[in-house]
């Protein structure tokens, strides 16, 4: 049946695809996938699902996508589920496959933008369950700027004896040092991951879910629900309903993703003791939303925001235990009442942040997971941006204070993550070493691998306070210790990290916010003058394209900066 040509503001994009006589072929194709004549008069909502059986983080998301679709259909929309990719950091960690992890963020953003733009969806519900899914989904929503809601797939339940994936990485280090037996390592391996959901501490997935909730782009409590729970099903249904309300009120992602909203996200990440990856991803998301955000904004906000949550990896508790006392909403209300959040920011509920938090109850009096503002774990941010002659364009450290605030040692240089891990496990790395892992940046990797295997091995061997690690790569949210990543410029483009020699003295000073190579500037200049670019590792395919396009880590490692 031909449709009339009357424009409908609720179907701003889908009407172009399905209205009028000339679009009969489009309607014919859609009849085959289940559209009725009545459906063509409804707003079309794409449900971007990151379902995959390659990782437990995403294995349940197909069911969540169906719940979100039911929410859309129940309030007069027409849902269309489609897929995008995911890769598993936990599985690929420490291997060449990890080079594809950060690349997948761009592929996810590109694919959601591509399908939504081609199909003319009027709104989007995007569901992510692993580290790069979340910023990838958010970058797509910001690019499209059509009414959209993000849904977090949810955290995993704890394994036996409160184990999680980081327990396994650290058990490997314990095994290498003789502290963990074959049988114990096998038991940890078999009990750490009990089922669906993202890694269980305040690692990158839970950090980014919390940041997106604080940004206003997911519904209240979406970040603080277990993957396998009735609460998560309801969250998905409500997200489907919410996107229809956003269409009704013409509220779009860039109305929500303002500079003040990004400041809210940074504040909550700091208070939770979240992952260094949040710096990289929030910079990328802000770039996509055309919001000016810089490394120094993390320093500025971090000077006044304390770390309050005693959560893994540097703390004691898992995300499930934070969920049990109320999630992050009571923490956000505390921050709001202290003047540390912008309460007037719009959210996907159609209400402001302050309105959403108005009825939130405080944490139980007897809990010790989230501390009071006057009794913080750390009085200022654990995310410390360091500059200096080793990082002229910046670097990012995760310093809880437990390992101290200053480390000086002797460089032990490795040209890859694999080489460093071998040296840690076989005892080559000793007390007082500053491990330098280079040519692992966005260009040099290519792909900027995470260094959970080396940091996990360091902690498992009991050397967390005895050695430091710096890299132009990045760290898993599960990494902890005296570690500095995102060193820019990276080695592959001639940054000073490229000319460090084993035995050089290096100082990491969190109080002065300095990463320093302790040799003369004349010697640095002489070494840089002799430096030659490394051979190109990849000449074809996605990694080669990524290396040619990607910006520095200090700019979010985006691939459309100068496009």
Residue whose C-alpha is closest to residue 227's, from 145, 314, 156, 291:
156
Q: Cis (ω within 30 of 0) for the bond into 446? A: yes
d(CA 52, CA 54): 5
d(CA 74, CA 465): 55
Residue whose C-alpha is closest to residue 159's, from 207, 199, 129, 131:
199
Alpha helices in 408-540 (DSSP H): 417-425, 452-460, 521-530
Beta-bridged to residue 46, according to DSSP, are 80, 124
- Tell me the C-alpha to C-alpha distance, in Å, between residue 65 and each of 7, 246, 554: 29, 19, 34
Tell me if residue 101 is catalytic. no
Beta-bridged to residue 480, according to DSSP, are none
Name the catalytic one among 218, 420, 476, 552.
476
Other beta carbons less than 10 A from residue 1's beta carbon = 6
Contact 123, 147 (CB under 8 A): yes
According to DSSP, the β-strands at 148-152 and 406-414 are unpaired
d(CA 392, CA 180): 41
Tokens, residue 509: 């000073």
Instruction: Tell the residue number behind the tokens 């109850």, with chain if given.
Output: 361
Contact 40, 3 (CB under 8 A): yes
Q: Which residues contact 509 (CB under 8 A, 6 or more apart)?
A: 386, 405, 406, 515, 516
Q: Which helix (H) or strand (E) holds 470?
A: strand 468-471
d(CA 542, CA 358): 47
CA R_g for the chain: 24
Annotated catalytic residues are: 476
């Amino acid at each position: 049946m031909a449709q009339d040509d009357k424009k409908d503001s609720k179907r701003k994009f889908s009407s172009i695809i399905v209205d009028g006589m000339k679009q009969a072929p489009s309607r014919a194709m859609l009849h085959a996938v289940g559209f009725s004549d009545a459906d063509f008069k409804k707003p079309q909502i794409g449900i971007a699902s990151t379902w995959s059986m390659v990782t437990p983080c995403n294995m349940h998301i197909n069911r969540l996508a169906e719940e979100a679709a039911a929410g859309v259909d129940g309030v007069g929309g027409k849902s269309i589920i489609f897929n995008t990719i995911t890769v598993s950091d936990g599985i690929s960690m420490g291997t060449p496959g990890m080079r594809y992890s950060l690349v997948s963020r761009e592929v996810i953003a590109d694919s959601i933008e591509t399908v939504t733009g081609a199909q003319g969806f009027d709104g989007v519900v995007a569901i992510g369950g692993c580290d790069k899914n979340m910023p990838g989904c958010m970058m797509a929503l910001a690019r499209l700027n059509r009414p959209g809601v993000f849904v977090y797939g949810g955290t995993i339940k704890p394994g036996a004896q409160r184990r999680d994936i980081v327990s396994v990485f650290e058990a490997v280090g314990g095994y290498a040092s003789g502290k963990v037996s074959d049988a114990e390592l096998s038991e940890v391996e078999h009990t750490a991951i009990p089922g669906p959901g993202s890694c269980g501490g305040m690692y990158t997935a839970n950090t980014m879910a919390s940041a997106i909730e604080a940004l206003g782009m997911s519904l209240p409590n979406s970040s603080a629900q277990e993957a396998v729970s009735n609460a998560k099903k309801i969250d998905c249904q409500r997200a489907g309903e919410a996107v229809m309300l956003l269409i009704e009120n013409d509220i779009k992602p860039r109305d929500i993703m303002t500079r003040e909203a990004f400041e809210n996200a940074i504040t909550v990440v700091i208070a939770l003791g979240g992952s260094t990856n949040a710096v990289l991803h929030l910079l990328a998301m802000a770039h996509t939303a055309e919001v000016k955000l810089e490394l120094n904004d993390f320093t500025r906000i971090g000077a006044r925001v304390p770390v309050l949550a005693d959560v893994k990896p540097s703390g004691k508790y898992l995300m499930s235990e934070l969920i049990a006392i109320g999630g992050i909403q009571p923490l956000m209300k505390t921050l709001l009442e202290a003047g540390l959040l912008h309460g007037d920011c719009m959210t996907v509920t159609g209400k402001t942040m302050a309105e959403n938090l108005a009825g939130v109850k405080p944490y139980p009096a007897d809990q010790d997971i989230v501390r009071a503002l006057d009794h913080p774990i750390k009085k200022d941010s654990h995310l410390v941006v360091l500059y200096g002659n080793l990082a002229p364009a910046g670097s990012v450290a995760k310093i809880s204070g437990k390992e101290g605030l200053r480390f000086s040692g002797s460089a032990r240089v490795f040209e890859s993550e694999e080489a460093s891990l071998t040296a840690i496990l076989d005892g080559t790395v000793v007390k007082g070493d500053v491990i330098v892992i280079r040519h692992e940046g966005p260009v040099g990797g290519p792909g900027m691998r995470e260094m959970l295997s080396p940091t996990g091995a360091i902690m498992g061997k009991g050397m967390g306070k005895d050695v430091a690690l710096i890299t132009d790569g990045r760290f898993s949210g599960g990494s902890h210790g005296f570690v500095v990543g995102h060193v820019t410029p990276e080695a592959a483009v001639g940054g000073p990290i490229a000319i460090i020699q084993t035995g050089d003295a290096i100082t990491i000073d969190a109080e002065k916010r300095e990463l320093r190579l302790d040799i003369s500037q004349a010697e640095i200049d002489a070494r840089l003058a002799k430096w030659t670019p490394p051979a190109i590792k990849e000449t074809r395919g996605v990694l080669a394209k990524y290396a040619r396009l990607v910006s520095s880590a200090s700019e979010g490692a985006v691939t459309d900066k100068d496009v």
